[in-house]
Amino acid sequence: MAALVLFGGGGDLAMRMLLPSLYFLEHDGLLPDGLKVIGAARSDETREEYVAKVRQSVEAKAKADEAWSTASWDRMAARLDYLAVDATSAESLKPLKDKVGDGACTSFLAVSPSLYARIVTAMRAAGLAEADDRVVLEKPVGRDLETFREIDDAVADAFSEPQVFRIDHYLGKETVQNLIALRFGNTIFEPLWNNLSIDHVQITVGETVGVGDRWPYYDEYGALRDMLQNHMLQLLCLVAMEPPSDLDPDSVRNEKVKVLRSLRPVTHEEAGRVTVRGQYVAGTVEGKSVAGYDEERGEDSDTETFIAVRADIDNWRWAGVPFFMRTGKRLPEKRTEIVIQFKPVPHSIFHGGDPGAVQANRLVIALQPEEDISLSVMNKRPGLDQRMRLQPIQMSLSWGQNDKSASPPRRRIAYERLLLDALHGDSTLFVRRDEAEQAWKWVDEVSEAWRGAAFKPHDYAAGTWGPPEADYLLSRTGRAWNSGDA
């Protein structure tokens, strides 16, 4: 691999995530020998100015993680180059092709997806879409199935499917990948991973931040398209997919597509029963008063900043097991987790058969703010009581629990894994076209059901877990959202 080109190389994503990730890979000795890293953006600046700006961003993050090394930075800086370009113009991209040279190139489009079609067309004309080249697309690609296909058709005209890497940074998280190891590397879990043992599954992605000045983007996408279509459906697929024959990229992605195809459509009649839309109004988050979404925007809007949905997977493994998903802005805490709630024991022999004496097992896979996997099990309460009393305990399945003297590994940026995989051509953790199409198809059905039912967002005060209807989504089935205490 001769070069990695970062289109939008001076933008927020590049400076906040991509370039620090590349530094950490350099620090760990994982970047390919001879790889050039070329920032490409509209800003008219010299290479020296660009390198100085990159250092400022990288150094702050590396020092916070106690991973700053002048030697590592010097190696990283030697790889860096910069070129001011109009990425939508083939003529403007020709000097970039000269900088790349004759070797293979991976291009990361860290720009608005609305520019993808024009950029890849210009790349093809400039010679940056040859047989050994690759392109990485940041989500979301399009805002519905139709626009996704329009953009992706243009990408397909320039690159073959094996050359296209559609990124979802959640899949680069260590704990998400560990879910595959947990399920398919242990005989104690997979035989129980079905509707005979599991009562329901919860997926929560909570954010304390509001939309702020990002409202022009958010007004177009909302929580449904911004979060559910990609991050949350990807997590659902990893939980629900059948065991692949191996870890070949297509073997894994084939099983994920089967899950998406099995999702029960959301109809107009069902929309009010299985989905909840919400929009935050003024409230208090982390002890500070914050404005509502309409106040930030400056006028009224029907954009949802919160969504909760019940998804049902119509296949033999998951028939009757609801998957509850919720995500929103201005919630009480930043929390991303997957909760696997097992069924209670069929008959309790404790406390005279009181079923409340035995809590059902629960597996919690936490992604944020800290990555952790814990299993709740029942254990005898110490003491000499004549009747055996039980208590729930948390068994941590996270790294290092069996070696208290071991130093924990540095918490990696999810993009580190994904950038490294893209450079090596490993597409296992990336989204295939048919997978993205199936996700958009289901999300479009939800959106159409909302329109058909004139389904407007419910208000919820900033600093709460969404509108009361989100709690009712579970409570009417005798269930409740995980409080985060267990």
**Catalytic (active-site) positions:** 231
Label residue 468 exposed, middle or buried (CB < 10 Å: 0-12, 13-18, 19+): middle
Q: Is 207 annotated as a binding residue?
A: yes
Q: Is 169 annotated as a binding residue?
A: yes
Strand partners, 374: 364, 396
Nearest to 231 by CA among 271, 290, 176: 176
Distances (CA, A) of 213 to 286, 293, 334: 20, 10, 20
Q: Is 258 annotated as a binding residue?
A: no
Give the Cα separation of 214 and 212 in Å (integer): 5
Q: Is 74 annotated as a binding residue?
A: no
Tokens describing residue 440: 């958009």
Q: What is the 3-state secondary structure of 324-354?
A: EEEEECCCCCCEEEEEEEECCCCCCCCHHHC
Q: Is 404 annotated as a binding residue?
A: no
Q: State whether the Cα torsion 227-229-232-234 is positive or negative.
A: negative
Q: Is 173 annotated as a binding residue?
A: yes
Cis peptide upstream of residue 369 (ω within 30 degrees of 0): yes
Give the Cα separation of 277 and 450 in Å (integer): 9
Under a CB-based contact definition with an 8 Å cutoff, are residues 336 and 234 in contact?
A: no
Nearest to 362 by CA among 475, 483, 476: 483
Give the Cα separation of 307 and 458 in Å (integer): 10
Where is the binding site for substrate, in residues? 169, 173, 207, 226, 329, 334
Where is the binding site for NADP(+), in residues? 42, 139
Where is the binding site, in residues? 42, 139, 169, 173, 207, 226, 329, 334
